[in-house]
Amino acid sequence: MKDTFSIGKVPINGTSVPLVSTMLNSADFMGAVMVRWGINRDNYLVSPGLYAFGSPGPTSDVFVTANYKLSFDTLRKNLSGVNGWILVLDTRGVNVWCAAGKGTFGTKELVSRIKLVSLDKIVNHKRIILPQLGATGVAAHIVKEESGFNVHYGPVRASDIKRFIDDGYRSDKEMRRVTFGFEDRLKLIPNDFIYGKFYLLGAMAVIFIISGLTRNGFSYRDFSGEGGPAILSVFLAYLSGIVITPICLPYIPGRPFALKGFITGSIVFLILLSLNLKGKNIFEIVSWFLIITAISSFLAMNFTGSSTYTSLSGVKKEMKISLPLQIGFAISGIILQVIGKLN
Amino acid sequence: MKDLLYLPDVVTLKLCEETCNGCGMCVKVCPHEVFELAGKKAHIIRRDYCMECGACALNCPVQAITVNSGVGCAAGIINGILNNTEPSCGCSGSNSNCC
């Protein structure tokens, strides 16, 4: 990805290190907005290696981050007024926490990158500051053994870095805790919405085809008359699972996400039912209940992957029960739809 | 805001208090305050808040902690079921679909 953020070079030890600003520019802002919608996601990287900010010297701190540009930008925009170095690891363009979970923001890469940039010749101390969430992939005691550098885990959020430094490189409880508030959940939705589009189009296609069914075969009039509301229902079920459930997450009863999605889906169904939009016979009505809740529950269950507090063991347990139910509901729903049309 | 809680009593987190040397790394790296240091040993105090990220086990210098960490997303588990493997995201570089 083209470098729009270097503002110079810092000569050091016979070579030079790119100097970056601690103020984001409009390209950075635009890029951040677009990448949240999945635009240019695969290209939103910076080159791994060492960068300088402010006027760093041999006593300045080293901050480590991933080579996902959003991570890099989030770090540097919180370092204004500080002088130091940024060590960017090659995480294949993935953010710190996910990369740590996969091992790419890991002990091996960190040790190797420290050696590659000859960090021991750049600073005269052995302190290296990592985002706390990197701990999922980095073993601090092994980094010390293999590189001589002491990993200090900084706060979870870059916005707490200056306070962390002022408090003598210590994180208090708040700085160490990950939450999942409204804004955090909201930011994740556009990406999930876009990436789910194939599920959405697939479901819409199936429903659209069924909508044209009558006892005498396919009817164009039925496609155009009934197809519209049918596709709208599928779209609303999609919104229920991908947008509404995440937004309202803490307020929907039930701990499993699949259950929360089922509840939101049921509410969407009841609203459509009360607006008299759910078909003329009992088969169609029941089928829509099954289809809408299946879609909403499945997509809500997928949101566990974007959440910050679900455990692998919990998701496995949730899925063992929910996935067969969702599949069962969907298939029964489709069968009842067909029966309803042919009636 | 209040901490959100997931399913109770499911996590695979284990701490061997005998082996623990009281270094406090688990307390430092845990994102959900699952551990507390008291009487020169670590203790699990909020077990159901554990998300099995594995940071504690990885950073324990005496291997007193074990936990079954790994890809924990529904999509990854489905991927694993379909390909008959452990859960995997399949986003190892080119297809950066999830992260």
Alpha helices in A168-302 (DSSP H): 173-176, 182-195, 197-211, 220-239, 245-248, 257-274, 282-302
Q: Are A178 and A133 in contact (CB under 8 A)?
A: yes
Distance of alpha carbon A35 from alpha carbon B18, whole angstroms = 47
pLDDT (tens digit, 9 = 90+) per residue, A313-325?
Answer: 999 999 999 999 9
Mean pLDDT of A275-283: 75
What integer is the mean pLDDT of A195-202?
A: 86
- Torsion angle, CA of A255/A260/A262/A267, rounded to 10 degrees? 140
Contact A313 B11 (CB under 8 A): yes
Distances (CA, A) of A35 to A40, A198, A276: 6, 19, 40
Q: What share of chain B is helix, strand, coil (3-state, %, to 5)?
A: 25, 10, 65
Q: How far A155 CA lies from chain B's nearest CA (Å)? A: 9
Between CA A236 and CA A268 the distance in angstroms is 7
| Whole-structure pTM value | 0.91
Judging contacts by C-beta atoms under 8 Å, the chain B residues touching residue A42 are 94, 96
Interface mutation vs chain B, best among A312, A319, A325, A326, most B CBs within 10 Å = A312
- With a CB cutoff of 8 Å and minimum separation 6, the contacts of A229 are A277
- Searching chain B, which residue's CA lies closest to the CA of residue A258? B74
Mean pLDDT along residues A167-175: 95
Tell me the residue ranges of DSSP E strands in chain B. Answer: 14-15, 35-38, 41-44, 65-66
Tens digits of per-residue pLDDT, B54-90?
999 999 999 999 999 977 778 888 888 888 777 766 5
User: Residue A139 and residue B55: Cα distance in Å, rounded?
Assistant: 8
- Does the pLDDT value for residue B94 go beyond 80? no
The whole-number average pLDDT for the span A296-312 is: 94
Contact (CB<8Å) B58/A316: no
